[in-house]
A and B are shown apart, each in its own frame.
Chain A
């Protein structure tokens, strides 16, 4: 795969999917910049990429803390060619029993804050006259389980922001895509699949969960020159999970 640019900002860089992607990026001679929100995340990144010294960097970004955007972008400067956004707080609650303080802060952190990051990064990409952003959404936006209403709402709102960015700046060399993975045998999904194995697999037409390697390859493709024609769109990658009833 060929790429126009080299430096890739990865939001939510301490999750397993992001780390898998970072490793794959390094193999492809890209330079991932992974964000972490606390020391634990920072340590997890360095443990997982300890054999890749100087081939990546990790920087602090805490969703909800607006000062952390300034600090992050002060350190990256204009050197952002790609952005992959895995960041998402977990919030499970039945709609009718939700704590409203939590709802307000969840949407502020996962929608408004994200909008600010997107705005700031888009302006950097405008200076560079190119850029590609991939948002990692979820099949839960089409087929949520009970308790995932706020999570799905935040994902859908974020998808809309990315879509509009692609609409507005496609003519300036900046494209966006949203990937909606289904069940992945990694991170939060791994435990869910272990706990509900038969029930989950029965729902998926390909009769298996996705691997994190498959997801990383797909993201890398969407960042590559081969995917320049994809813009302002959502792509389901769920083994057919959301296609049927």
Chain B
């Protein structure tokens, strides 16, 4: 399954936008204007489409700034600390995020793809049994 294509289909449906404007580098909040209710819908759709458990705080990087503050308070290397907290993001991507913080919300489509890829490859897929 092409994760990016599936995510694009979901976003097209939720945000009522054209497929071609979505790339891995697209910002969900900054560019597409996704609101919290849209992200909730996205999380539910991902859970349904990929059959994985979704932690909204992690997938949408909601605690990113809190983690950065924690690393700072503990005198830890920020990127190393973020790797522990957000293991689905690469070191390179975390460095990008750190350089991009002043621009606002840093969440990109490729982060969602990374989260799903990580969940699929590292955790047991949920199985749902109907009664």
Which residues of A approach B to under 8 Å, CB–CB?
57, 74-79, 123, 126-127, 168, 171-172
Contacts and interface: CB of A to CB of B under 8 A. Distances in A.
10 contacts: A75-B129, A75-B131, A76-B131, A79-B130, A123-B44, A126-B40, A126-B41, A127-B45, A127-B48, A171-B37
B119 interface: no
Contacts of B131: 57, 75-77, 79
A126 B43 CA distance: 10
B51 to A, nearest CB: 11
B99 interface: no
B47 A123 contact: yes
B128 interface: yes
Nearest to A31: B131
Identify whether the interface residues of B are mostly helix, strand, loop, or mixed: helix
Nearest to B131: A75
Contacts, number: 27
Interface in B86-102: none
A77 B130 CA distance: 5
Contacts of B129: 74-75, 77
A176 to B, nearest CB: 16
Instruction: For the complex of A and B, list the 6 residue pairs with the smallest distance between their C-beta atoms, beginning with the closest.
Output: A126-B44, A77-B130, A77-B128, A127-B48, A123-B44, A75-B131
A168 B130 contact: no
Contacts of B47: 123, 127
The DSSP consensus for interface residues of chain A is helix
A14 to B, nearest CB: 18
Given A126-B40, A168-B37, A171-B37, 18 more contacts: A57-B131, A74-B129, A75-B129, A76-B131, A77-B129, A77-B130, A77-B131, A78-B128, A79-B130, A79-B131, A123-B43, A123-B44, A123-B47, A126-B44, A127-B44, A127-B47, A127-B48, A168-B40
Nearest to B48: A127
B38 to A, nearest CB: 11
Interface in B3-31: none
Nearest to A126: B44
A123 B44 CA distance: 6
Contacts of A171: 37
Nearest to B126: A74
Contacts of B43: 123
B41, B43, B131 pick with most chain A CB within 10 angstroms: B131
A57 B131 CA distance: 9
Given A123-B47, A127-B48, A172 B130 contact: no
A224 B130 CA distance: 24
Contacts of A123: 43-44, 47
Nearest to B41: A126
Contacts of A78: 128
B39 to A, nearest CB: 12
A171 B38 CA distance: 12
Nearest to B37: A168
Nearest to B54: A123
B108 to A, nearest CB: 24
